[in-house]
Structure formats: structure tokens, C-alpha cells
Structure 1
């Protein structure tokens, strides 16, 4: 396939930026779409991304859309239609089911080329990028971060419950109920109530364990973390 004229850099959406942020360089292939005929010209890499041998089929828009994941198909179709109308640079990340039944995650970037005589957009050109592995790694990073954040939230709540259990001589369930009631009265999330409590009464600068009166004063008028 003849390489198209190098386009100006299309804007990357946030998901595409994330999956391309690190790791090994993913496979990249070129494409060109003739808007008059609906036929695509693919580099060898794009055939492989779609599960075909290079030159095995004649790529068309209906065939390409048939491989899009059902949940992403309408969005990609709309993206291409808008690009065909405006010629503006675009980018998106979507899933496909290749000819072998494998689900892949592809990024597509591109822009339109206009006929100098009429000013009409006559073709789209750009790149497909197989970000399947990068996307999986990004999802794993997100999951790890989410698990870590959840563990941290649980930890601070456990610490706050411990303070209340010692001060009031109550059990774990009653301590959490104290936090929940303070949360409802102040309209502040339980985890934020817990964070403020731990910060104010269990921080490294605190040398004396808080009194019952100090705890009660806090629970009546909790301080949001951003005001500490």
C-alpha cells in the first residue's frame, strides 16, 4: 500500500493516551478509505489485526464494521460518518472480533483529505494500532490501583473504629454506627469522617490519646479532610 501524505497529528482521546503511555510499542498499520466506493486499502499489519492474511479479502466498510464488537459498532460507525463529513482529525479506541474469533482492542487515528477542486472530503487516511496488550496492562493497573485505594479506605476506617472502641468501650459494630451517624448528620462520606478522625487524634504529632469529650465534639461537627 502506498504510504499516504503524513497528516498533522490527530488529537488522542484519553483512553488512547493511556494505553499508549508505556510499555513496548504496539503493532501499527496504515489505512486509506475511499469515500466514493467505500473500499479500504490496508497495509499488511491491518489485515493481521483483523485475523486475515495480507490481501486475503477486499476490505470494505460493511466488512470492517461487521468485525466491530457489537457494543462499539454504532460508535465507530458514527465516528467515521462525522469524519467523512468534516475531514477533521479523529481518534478512538474500540474492540473488534477478528476473523479467528479473537477479541482485540484497536485504536484508530486519522483525518480526511479534500478534493482541491470541490473542497469535498474524498478519503480518510491514518493508522490502526493494536493496543490489546497495552489495554490489558492499563486495565490491570487500574484494577490494582482500585484495589489499593479500597484497601487504604478500609484501613483508615478500621483505625477510626479502633479509636472509638477504646474511647467508648464499645464493639466494632457500634463504632462503625457512630461513624455512620456522623456521616449522615454532616453529609460527609464515612471514609472522610474516618480519615479526619485518625488525622486529628492519631497523627504523629499527637502525644495524648483523645478524650471522650474531644471525640464527641468531633462527631457532632466533623471536619472534612480538605479543611484539615
Structure 2
């Protein structure tokens, strides 16, 4: 090692004891509060946000434990301080104790991983505390390591760093403050933080070097967990935003271009006044599988359909686009609702990607005001007439994709001028909950008279927008003219 040179450094004054006791009390109290939060934090392995929060709590507890140990040592001072006739020396480090009286001396805890050492450059004597032997995994009978021997236990990539900070301390009088990895005799790699200063004799020459070393492996592990959890959370958020954007783009490309209301111009006085709305979930994140659709067919009839597919995100949106395209094509070809659902069921049954569909498909003939409809595991249409509402008798039909060769019953009803039909996906009434359906039917008095379809749809959304729901929903309102 290089020869000791002068290192003129002022000797720091110890803090007042009362101040130290106040800091220790505050640290203990804060540590207890953070630990209480940590114990109350339930970790879900599938929830990245919870893992990140728990990792932050663990890191905070480790850091407060370290801070408490350091404050205890500062409060204790140097137990074997120099006498009045001893030569003036620089700051000394007392061998670390077990820490606070209310915490056990656990070698695996941050409090048990603090050791001290002093290397006397004049006599070549080396003094290690018992804790330092534990940190390095070295038997006390093997004796301490000199400054020349110390790099032999340091991870090869970090040996140059250790040499540099020790050299700067001895030659330039710089304080030591760095960390490096050591390889213990048992093969375990630990991260050690080293702090120290040169000790000057009465002539101002470097007489020895003291250092405090602490095993910060668990602290660094906690920090890595926080970083990894945060990075994972950021990636999940980025993926979620990208998925939401793709779902919105698919819906924008596939669903009807009209928003709010639509007047069908070719159907005469009995034409339908239409309005449709989307009711999002509390998170406002679209699932991608729900739709509503209205289309004037070549024979003058009007196709009305609402539905939803299982699943979420881009997969559900792409399946919805496929199904809605097939539905429109068969409706334009003149296939009636019951038979149409049978073909859609066969399509989903043979699809490579298993999916279930809840669909209501209907045709309205303005010449006769006949409403023909069929459903596949879907809520029945609601008919509002004369200020009261009722659900139409459900036609038989299982979910699309649930079984092969399913047949779907078709029903029809003669409508009157001023009648109002409400078609909705099951997310609006929480999977067909009777209480939610009755709540929807109770809106009958508000949806009679001269109210437009747009006003009726707005009333429904206003009534149900505050409800907590797991799925988003679509609602379509059709008022018969004439």
C-alpha cells in the first residue's frame, strides 16, 4: 500500500446527547408505523402494483433499521475513549452492539450486519470487530485481513474500486464512502458498504485508517425488487394503454359511424327513431367485446342487434369484428334472426379461439310494424307502451359457442306507433339481475309521450352510469314512428 502522508482534516464534533435521543425516538416511532403498513399490505402475486408497494415498505423498514443502528452507535460514543494524557486522535468507531434493547441481535437482520475495523499503518496491527468476521464469513481464529489482503475476498470486478477509495483515503485524506461485493468462503456474494477516514497522529500524519462496514445485501435486494416491480408496473401500464388504444381503433372501424341518434329515411312514417349509447365500467377501460348495430337492409327492413363476447382487450375486439361482419352479411342476404343465430353458433363452435357470445338479433318491418327477434343467452327486449314497461317473453336460445348444432327460436310482436324498444347487453343490468331490470322498467313514465329516442337513451345512461359494474355495456333505444 502507499506510504502514509499528511491528511489535514478537521475533527468533527459529536452531536448533543439530547438531540440524539430525540432522533432515535423519532426513528423508532417511524419504523413501527412503516412496519404496521407493511404487515397490513396483502401481496397478490398477480398484482404488480401491490408487489411494488410491499417492496417499498420492505426497503423503508431496512433503511430505518440501519438508521436506528447508526444513531444508537452515535449515542453510545467510544466506550474506551482516550484518557487526559493520551495523544489526540481522530474519530474512533466503537464495536457495534446488538442495537436497540427492544430488538434481538439477529445476524440476518440489518442491525447484525454492521462491523468495524482499524488498520494501524505504523505497527501493521489490524483490529476487526466480531461482526466483521461474520460479514466476511471468516473464522475469528484466522485473524483479520490487512489492507493488502482485503482485495483477495473482493469480487474481481470491484477490486479496482476498493483499491481506489483506500488509496484516496491514505494519500489525499479523502473519506471512504463506497460499496463493493465480497465473495465469502461459503461462496456467497454479499454487498458491503464501507465508510471511514484516516486517523492522524499529533504531528498530523496518517497513523491509521478506521472504517465501518455494513452488509447491505438485503437493502440492495429490496431496492432491486422495487426497481423490478416498478419496471414491471410501467410495462403493464404501457401494454394496457396500447391495448386500450387498439380496442378503441377496432371499435371505431367496425361499429356504426353514427353516434347518439339515427333517423332511418327510407322506411316511411313507421320508421324507427334510434339512439345508442355505451356505458363504460368504473375504470373506463373498454372490454372490447360488446357492440350495438343498426342497418337498413335491401328489402327495406331494419336490422337491430346488440351483443357481447367473453374475454377482454384486443382478442375480444377482433372476435367481435369477425362476428359482427358475419352477422351483417347474413342479414343482408335475407336470413331471418333465428336461422342467423344458428349459423353464428356454428361459426364460433368451429373457431380456433374458443369464445362465447350473448346476442340479440332482430328485424323490423316498417310496412307491418312487425318486430321479429331471436336471442342467444341474452336479455329479452324491453317494450315500453302507455307509460309502463315489460320484458318480452324470451325466445329459446343458448349462448353462441356453448354447444354444437343449437337451434334458436324466433318470436315476433306487432308494434304500435309511439312504442319504445330498449335493447341492451347484460352488463347494464349486471348479468340480468332482476332488481336491476325492474329499476330499468321503472323508467317507463320518463320514456313515454313525445320523448325522443336520444332523450330516452340519455335517461337510461344517467340512471345506470353510477353503478359499479365489472363489464361495460351497450344500450339501444328504438321508437316507432307513425
| TM class, shorter-length | 0.5 to 0.7
TM-score (norm 1): 0.60
Distance 1:110 1:126 in 2: 4
Distance 2:182 2:61 in 1: 16
Could you tell me which residue of structure 1 aligns to residue 250 of structure 2? 165
Could you tell me which residue of structure 2 aligns to residue 173 of structure 1? none
Could you tell me which residue of structure 1 aligns to residue 474 of structure 2? none
Q: CA deviation at 1:167?
A: 2.9
Contact 2:117 2:212 in 1 (8 A): yes
**Which among 57, 62, 78 is matched to residue 164 of structure 2?**
78
> 67-76 or 132-141: which moved more?
132-141
Gaps of 5+ in 2: 1-10, 15-58, 66-108, 255-283, 286-482
Could you tell me which residue of structure 2 aligns to residue 21 of structure 1? 63
Give 4+ residue runs of structure 1 displaced > 6 Å after superposition. 6-9
Distance 1:18 1:75 in 2: 28
Residue 101 of structure 1 aligns to a residue whose secondary structure is coil
1:120 aligns with 2:162: no
Q: CA deviation at 1:37?
A: 5.8
Residue 61 of structure 1 aligns to a residue whose secondary structure is coil
Distance 1:98 1:162 in 2: 54
Q: 1:168-207, aligned counterparts within 5 Å? A: 168-169=253-254
Could you tell me which residue of structure 2 aligns to residue 48 of structure 1? 134
**Which among 83, 90, 110 is matched to residue 196 of structure 2?**
110
Q: Describe the shift of the 1:141–1:22 C-alpha distance in structure 2 as closer, same or farther (beyond 3 A).
A: farther
Residue 212 of structure 2 aligns to a residue whose secondary structure is strand
Q: Deviations over 1:129-174 (max 9, x none)?
A: 01122222222222111111111111112222222333345xxxxx
Report the structure number with the largest CA radius of gyration.
2
Contact 2:174 2:197 in 1 (8 A): yes
Contact 2:170 2:198 in 1 (8 A): yes
Q: 1:125-140, aligned counterparts within 5 Å? A: 125-140=210-225
Q: CA deviation at 1:93?
A: 1.7
Q: Describe the shift of the 1:25–1:51 C-alpha distance in structure 2 as closer, same or farther (beyond 3 A).
A: closer
Residue 181 of structure 2 aligns to a residue whose secondary structure is strand
Contact 1:32 1:42 in 2 (8 A): yes
Instruction: Report the structure, 1 or 2, having the larger strand content.
Output: 2
Distance 1:112 1:151 in 2: 49
Q: CA deviation at 1:108?
A: 0.8
Q: Describe the shift of the 1:86–1:130 C-alpha distance in structure 2 as closer, same or farther (beyond 3 A).
A: same
Query: What's the RMSD between the two structures over aligned residues?
Result: 3.0
Q: Deviations over 1:58-95 (max 9, x none)?
A: 41123211000011111111111111122232311211
Residue 85 of structure 1 aligns to a residue whose secondary structure is helix
Gaps of 5+ in 1: 1-5, 10-16, 170-201, 204-228
